[in-house]
Amino acid sequence: MTAMTAQELERQMPDATQLYSDEPEMESSLHYMQLLLLVTSLEWAWRERDDFFVGANLTIYFSRQQLKNRDFRGPDFFLVKNTVRKPRKSWVVWEEDGRYPDLILELLSESTAKVDRTLKRDLYGKRFHTPEYFYFSPDSLEFEGFRLVMDHYEAIAPNDRGWFWSEVMGLFLGIHQDQLRYFSLEGTLLPTPQESAQAEIQKVQIERQKVQIERQKTVLESQRANEAEAKLEALQARLKSLDIVID
C-alpha cells in the first residue's frame, strides 16, 4: 500500500467550516469573569492591530486521529500572533498554515488542575511547541509561568512583584486585586474597555471641575472688583461732601 500524498491526506481531513468548538462550560462564574477579563483587556490594548487571534475556551483541532478518538483539546485562553484577526468557530491547525498557539493559559479548577499541570502541559510543549504556557487558579490564586526550551517547559522566574514576563506578548502577567491582569514593561495596568471609559469620564469630570473653579474665581474676582469700585466711589463722594478733592 502506497503512502498518501499531502493532497490526499488533506482531502480526507474534515471540512473546517463544520468543526465547531466542543468545550465544556467554564467551571464557575469566577472562572468565566477571569477569562472575559483576559480577553477583553488584551483585545482593547491591541485594538488597532489586526495580526493576532485570541481563543477563549475554544477547541484546537490538530490531527485526524484526534478527531477519530474525539480527543479534543481546548485551552481556556490562547494567543496566535501573525495571523488574521477574524471570528472563528474553532482553531483548525491544517487550515491555519500549520500554526499552533504562541501562548496558552489555563484556569485551574478542582476538576482540571491535575491535567493542566501534567498532560496538557506535555501536549502544549511536545506536540504544539507553544513557546509560553501559564496557569492560574481564580480560587487559590496559584500562578505559574513556563517558557519552552527545546521540547519541554522551564519555569519563568517572577519579578519582585510576583509577575511573569511574557516575551510573546511583550507584557507582564500578574495578580491584581485577586485577578490575573496584564501590565506594561513600566508596570502600568492595562485597562479593560470599561475601565478606560470610566477613566475618560473621570478625566472629563476633573476638567469640568477645573473650569467651574476657574469660573468661580472669575466671578469672585469680578465681585471683588465691583466692591472695590463701589467703595472708591463712596469714598470719593464722602470726600467731595467735605470739599476735599483728590486727583
Query: What pLDDT is attached to residue 149?
Result: 96
pLDDT tens digits for range 51-90: 999 999 999 998 877 665 566 668 999 999 999 999 999 9
**d(Cα 25, Cα 32) in Å, to the nearest integer?**
9
Nearest to 74 by CA among 82, 64, 66: 66
Please name the fold of domain 6-190. Answer: tt1808, chain A (3.90.1570)
Find the largest Cα–Cα distance for the chain: 131
* Regions of the chain with pLDDT less than 50: 1-11, 16
Nearest to 164 by CA among 151, 145, 150: 145
Q: Where are the domains of the chain?
A: 6-190, 192-247
β pairing state of 60-61 and 91-92: parallel
